């Protein structure tokens, strides 16, 4: 008598809550540890010391995946939409500019008070003359970023960074058996890679560009081509920075991504926007039906959308340098395309590149 009653939750509910907290704390702590390891690796690379490849084990990947990155990314996206008071905008954006080395002199609007929220600031436009599009080369960089890897695709495997690969078929998904894409005829013994090459004597090439949080967040068409199909893979939203890409095999196949496929003058062409932690949405300007980072999805699932219809036999024509889409934060662009054997990249692994600069040409 006279004592307060103690209200308790069912044991099952308490266990579920505690398990969730343990997973978040453990996964978050491990993710922080990995960030520190990545930082040390970056310092070694800057010193010119070659770092041996050390891949994550299955349990390490599972532990990393236990972090609710999709939920956190949606929360981050909502936070970015919150309108900041005018007096708070300059201090917040200035801190971001200082942390990630943003060059605001290139922005179409340099006044920080103009951007009502973080989302607007991330998606800031550039001055027209800030990124001249190279006219002398057939393929340009679709975005600002860092070149992680490039070269020919070999044995149906693509390098995400030096020494770490992923499966071409797992990344792009099964071959689209329609007339939308001019795939070569599938014959017994033909590999997935051979089926993508439509012209005799051509090879398949790839290029991986990592966009850091301080980079320009929009991406553009890397060449003149025709987009016929979109394939959306829901998935994890693990970090895609070079350190993690070196650590987790097939990282890009685990993460959410949007694959645009079509053709250019030399045959097959594709551009894939890969999601990452805090990249709550990937937007393609001409695709209003695309919705990324949904709360629920089936593991290993994907959905297809065709831009070919009775009223549109050509798909979506894109001109070199034309606006194509945007990320809400940094992420990765992967180009996989067909070209003649004399196609040459004008790149070095690890170099910084800006939208509009040459990737390669014949």
Tokens linked to 304: 């297809």
* DSSP one-letter code for 325: E
Q: 220, 232, 254, 266: which is the annotated catalytic residue?
A: 220
Q: Is 253 helix (H, G, I), strand (E, B) or coil?
A: helix
Q: 143, 221, 228, 331: which is the annotated catalytic residue?
A: 331
Q: Could you tell me whether strands 157-161 and 257-264 are parallel, antiparallel, or unpaired per DSSP bridges? A: unpaired
CA 64 – CA 81 distance, rounded (Å): 27
CA 217 – CA 212 distance, rounded (Å): 9
The answer to whether 254 is a known catalytic residue is no
Q: Give yes or no for a contact between 145 and 359, defined as CB atoms under 8 angstroms apart.
A: no
Q: What are phi and psi of 140, to 5 degrees?
A: -115, 165
CA 289 – CA 294 distance, rounded (Å): 13
The answer to whether 331 is a known catalytic residue is yes
Q: Is 225 helix (H, G, I), strand (E, B) or coil?
A: strand
Cβ-in-10-Å burial (0-12, 13-18, 19+) of 60 comes to middle
The answer to whether 144 is a known catalytic residue is yes
**What b/e readout covers 239-262, taking b as 16+ CB neighbours within 10 angstroms?**
bbbbbbbbbbbbbbbbbbbbbbbb
Q: 73, 141, 144, 239: which is the annotated catalytic residue?
A: 144
Cα distances from 26 to residues 33, 34, 70, 193, 240, in angstroms, run 11, 12, 17, 40, 20
**What b/e readout covers 174-204, taking b as 16+ CB neighbours within 10 angstroms?**
eebeeebbebbeeeeeeeebebbbbeeebbb
Active-site positions read: 144, 220, 331
């Amino acid at each position: 008598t006279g004592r307060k009653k103690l209200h308790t939750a069912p044991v099952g509910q308490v266990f579920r809550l505690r398990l969730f907290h343990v997973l978040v704390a453990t996964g978050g702590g491990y993710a922080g540890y990995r960030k520190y390891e990545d930082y040390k690796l970056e310092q070694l690379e800057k010193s010119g010391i070659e770092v041996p490849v050390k891949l994550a084990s299955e349990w390490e990947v599972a532990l990393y995946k236990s972090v609710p990155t999709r939920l956190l990314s949606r929360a981050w996206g909502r936070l970015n939409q919150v309108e900041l008071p005018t007096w708070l905008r300059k201090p917040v954006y200035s801190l971001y500019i200082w942390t990630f080395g943003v060059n605001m002199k290139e922005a179409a609007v340099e006044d920080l008070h103009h951007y009502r929220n973080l989302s607007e600031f991330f998606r800031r436009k550039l001055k027209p003359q800030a990124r001249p599009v190279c006219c002398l080369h057939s393929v340009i960089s679709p975005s600002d970023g860092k070149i992680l890897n490039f070269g020919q695709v070999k044995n149906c495997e693509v390098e995400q960074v030096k020494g770490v690969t992923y499966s071409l078929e797992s990344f792009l998904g099964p071959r689209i058996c329609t007339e939308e894409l001019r795939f070569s005829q599938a014959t017994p013994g033909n590999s997935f890679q051979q089926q993508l090459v439509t012209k005799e004597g051509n090879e398949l090439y790839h290029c991986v560009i990592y966009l850091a949080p301080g980079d320009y967040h929009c991406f553009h068409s890397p060449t003149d081509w025709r987009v016929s199909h979109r394939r959306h893979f829901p998935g994890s939203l693990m970090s895609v920075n070079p350190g993690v890409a070196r650590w987790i095999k097939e990282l890009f196949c685990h993460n959410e991504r949007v694959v645009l496929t079509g053709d250019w003058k030399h045959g097959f062409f594709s551009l894939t926007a890969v999601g990452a932690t805090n990249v709550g949405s990937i937007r393609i300007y001409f695709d209003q039906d695309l919705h990324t980072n949904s709360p629920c999805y089936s593991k290993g699932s994907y959905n297809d959308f065709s831009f070919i219809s009775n009223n549109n036999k050509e798909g979506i024509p894109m001109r070199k340098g034309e606006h194509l889409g945007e990320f809400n934060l940094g992420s990765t662009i992967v180009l996989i395309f067909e070209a003649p054997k004399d196609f040459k990249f004008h790149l070095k692994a690890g170099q910084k590149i800006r939208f509009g600069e040459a990737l390669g040409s014949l």
